[in-house]
Amino acid sequence: MGAKGITLFFRVILPASLPSIITGLKQGWSFAWRALMSAEVMSATIGLGQSLMMGRDLADINRVMLIMLIIVLIGLIIEKFVFSLAENRVLKRIGL
């Protein structure tokens, strides 16, 4: 169609790569969330990871299960309201 330079990038290359970019962001979020939880379990003095460890040390299964559910819910909320919205917009706009 004759697009060159910056027009080619913004009209062809970037829209075609958006599904892969969103997939990479989702995977990066997943790794970052797990790393954050691991770091909190190891060295934090306050947070979800520390509460999880306290529940484990005190054999408080209710606390452990609640913290695990909270961690999962935060991940699902981010997935649903951030990445699903972005994926749906790309699907409607590009049709992939």
Give the 3-state secondary structure of the chain.
CCCCHHHHHHHHHHHHHHHHHHHHHHHHHHHHHHHHHHHHHHHCCCCHHHHHHHHHHCCCHHHHHHHHHHHHHHHHHHHHHHHHHHHHHHHHHHCC
Residue 58: inside a domain, yes or no?
Answer: yes
Q: Could you tell me if residue 41 is inside a domain?
A: yes
In a domain, 5, yes or no: no
Query: Is 6 domain-assigned?
Result: no
Q: Is residue 14 part of a domain?
A: no
Q: How many domains does the chain have?
A: 1
pLDDT at 96 over 70: no
Residue 11 forms part of a structural domain: no
Q: What is the pLDDT of residues 19-66, one digit of tens each?
A: 888 889 989 988 998 888 888 777 767 777 788 888 888 888 888 898
User: Domain containing 56: what range?
Assistant: 19-94
Q: pLDDT by residue (tens digit) across 11-20?
A: 888 888 888 8
Any domain includes 60: yes
